[in-house]
Amino acid sequence: MDEVQALGEEDMFYITVMNVGGAEQVLTSDEPLTFEEMQKLVGGYIDVIALPFGRTLVVNEEGHMIRLSPNSNASLLVPSDIPIVGTAILLHYTMEQVATVPFIYPALT
């Protein structure tokens, strides 16, 4: 994932980087993220959370132990009372899935 590609290309991997504070950035790549790239984006060891509709959320495994700030947008995606903390990565398989993210957490629209 050295370079961000133009959105909407065929056979792309779509990645939404969900930062603490609400800033989000959609990236595309012709290759899936590597383990090391995911670690770099979340700032440490990763934990993978399966979500409905074929999406995956990747978070910092030690985020609570190292007292990362809560990520309110990412927390809305997970049916749990324990908030997601730190930067999260939302992995999509199609551009249509990227476009439907606001429908998953309508408080953001």
- Give the global pTM: 0.78
97 vs 62: CA distance, rounded Å: 28
Name the amino acid, one letter, at 98: V
pLDDT confidence tier of residue 96, bands split at 50, 70 and 90 = low
C-beta separation of 88 from 58 below 8 A: yes
Structure tokens at 83: 């908030």
- Could you report the per-residue pLDDT of 58-93, keeping only the tens digit for each? 999 999 999 999 999 999 988 888 899 999 999 986
Higher-confidence residue of 103 and 39: namely 39
**pLDDT attached to residue 101:** 52
Q: Which two tokens stand for residue 106?
A: 């309508």
Domain boundaries, the chain: 13-98
C-alpha count within 13 angstroms, C-beta hemisphere, residue 45: 7
